[in-house]
């Protein structure tokens, strides 16, 4: 629908449709969970989404936004995660790095 509206030069409608699609995708992503990860407090080696992504996705640290988006209702700022938070870890969409 967003593409159709864009092609008709109905840009505000296209933008609204695209936003709604993103919201729906976020909801589906949040529901699609195979694993969880509990954030730990280790002052010598603090957890962050980048490190968690590397642990959960075979050293693919660049996939941290997938974890953030799946947990965006509890993680307001991706730089701030806290000990004992239980994060949903969605399955990786592919197996190749």
Identify the pLDDT of residue 40: 92
- Look up the pTM and report it: 0.64
Note the pLDDT tens digit of each residue in 73-84: 899 999 999 999
Identify the pLDDT of residue 11: 87
Residue 16: Cβ-neighbour burial (10 angstroms; 0-12, 13-18, 19+): middle
Residue 26: Cβ-neighbour burial (10 angstroms; 0-12, 13-18, 19+): middle
DSSP letter assigned to residue 80? -
Mean pLDDT across the stretch 18-44?
A: 79
H or E element at residue 79: none
Rounded CA separation 72/16 (Å): 20
Flag whether pLDDT at 88 surpasses 70: yes
């Amino acid at each position: 629908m967003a593409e159709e509206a864009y092609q008709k030069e109905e840009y505000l409608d296209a933008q609204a449709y695209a936003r709604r699609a993103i919201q729906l995708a976020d909801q589906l992503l949040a529901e699609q969970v195979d694993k969880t990860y509990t954030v730990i407090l280790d002052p010598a080696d603090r957890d962050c989404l980048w490190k968690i992504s590397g642990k959960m996705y075979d050293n693919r640290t660049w996939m941290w936004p997938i974890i953030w988006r799946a947990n965006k209702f509890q993680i307001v700022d991706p730089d701030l995660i806290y000990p004992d938070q239980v994060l949903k870890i969605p399955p990786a969409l592919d197996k190749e790095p």
